[in-house]
Amino acid sequence: MSKTLRVAVTGAKGKMGQEVVKMVLQEADFQLVVAIDPSSAGVDAGVLVGKEPCGVIVQADLDQALRESAADVLVDFTIPQVVMDNVRTAIRHGVRPVIGTTGMSPADIEEIDNLLKEKAIGGLIAPNFSIGAILMMKFAAQVAKYMPHVEIIEYHGDQKLDAPSGTSIKTAELIAANRQELRQGNPHEHETIDGARGGYYNGFRIHSVRLPGVFAQQEVVFGGYGQTLKIRHDSYERAGYMPGVAVAVRKVMDCTGVVYGFEHFID
């Protein structure tokens, strides 16, 4: 019989956090043991997400909650300003972090890796948990071997704090690993409006669109002589990420150090 995994969730009242709480309550091999959200402390986590009471009361203090809970995994969908403190606290208690919060720097990732290795446990940092989005990234990386001229256009709602998105940065990293740096466009081009050509990454451009009414889409456009190839992924609701989060919670138990990118957890 497989072990029941004891799961903690930070940002439980947030839109992604609520979906994570619902998923954990539904999975037979998961047990919700901690739900953290200072603005909802004292509320039953099940009631918070529109379900029956589950007996887990939302708390404000992550350190105290982890000290008392014997959690195995912490799932964090919060904001860049607090995620590092949450992760440091989790690792200090021997709890494996699964991080969906974007906007982390390379220095942050290196620090997390070092802290995890000191504790001989593993953690995951994933800009995107959608299996479809991961396949989009993998396909784009393959195409880059043969069609190196590429631009990325990513679309999110106007409340998203970081630009470009973590998904587009991860896609760009995978593309860059399969092509030599190639500065695209006319060498004499000039932006009459600053930023019109988008953000520069390894010779190609990333464009970030932020509009109300948009959820999350990304298009990777490859250009060649007489042809273009477009790879597009559209997300319509946050529940679509939850199968990937569930896979991550299970698989993070079997790794040591930081794993960057959910693609490493799918074949």
Mean predicted confidence (pLDDT) in 253-260 = 95
The pair phi, psi for residue 247, each rounded to 5°, is -60, -45
pLDDT score, position 185: 83
Whether 51 is a known active-site residue: answer: no
The pair phi, psi for residue 266, each rounded to 5°, is -125, 145
What is the b/e burial string over 9-34, where b = at least 16 CB atoms within 10 angstroms of the residue's CB?
Answer: bbbbbbebbbbbbbbbbebeebbbbb
Instruction: Please pick, among 138, 149, 160, 251, the residue that the annotation labels catalytic.
Output: 160
Closest CA to 170 of 111, 234, 103: 103
Q: What count of other Cβ atoms lies within 10 Å of the Cβ of residue 142?
A: 14
Q: What is the mean pLDDT of the chain?
A: 94
For residue 204, pLDDT beyond 90? yes
3-state secondary structure of 152: strand
pLDDT score, position 2: 66
In this structure, are residues 105 and 38 in contact, taking their beta carbons and an 8 Å threshold?
no
Instruction: Give the dihedral of Cα atoms 46, 12, 211, 140; nearest 10 deg.
Output: -100
**Using CA atoms, how far apart are residues 67 and 99, in angstroms rounded to an integer?**
20
What are the residues whose beta carbons fall under 8 Å from the beta carbon of 115, sequence distance 6 or more? 87, 88, 91
**Using CA atoms, how far apart are residues 148 and 180, in angstroms rounded to an integer?**
8
Q: What percent of the chain has pLDDT over 90?
A: 81
Whether 156 is a known active-site residue: answer: yes
In this predicted model, what pLDDT tens digit does every residue of 56-84 receive, in sequence order? 999 999 999 999 999 999 999 998 899 99
Domains present along the chain, CATH in parentheses: 5-125+238-265 (3.40.50.720), 131-235 (3.30.360.10)
Alpha-carbon radius of gyration of the chain: 20
pLDDT score, position 181: 86
Confidence band of 247 (pLDDT split at 50, 70, 90)? very high
**Using CA atoms, how far apart are residues 176 and 78, in angstroms rounded to an integer?**
29
The pair phi, psi for residue 74, each rounded to 5°, is -115, 125
Mean predicted confidence (pLDDT) in 242-267 = 92
In this predicted model, what pLDDT tens digit does every residue of 122-180 receive, in sequence order? 999 998 898 899 999 999 999 999 999 999 999 999 988 889 998 999 999 999 999 98
In this predicted model, what pLDDT tens digit does every residue of 16-51 receive, in sequence order? 999 999 999 999 999 999 999 999 999 999 999 999
Please tell me the number of Cα atoms within 13 Å of 209 on its side-chain side.
13
The beta strands (E) that lie in 129-226 are given as 149-156, 199-201, 204-210, 216-224
Provide the whole-model pTM.
0.79
Instruction: Please pick, among 13, 22, 156, 207, the residue that the annotation labels catalytic.
Output: 156
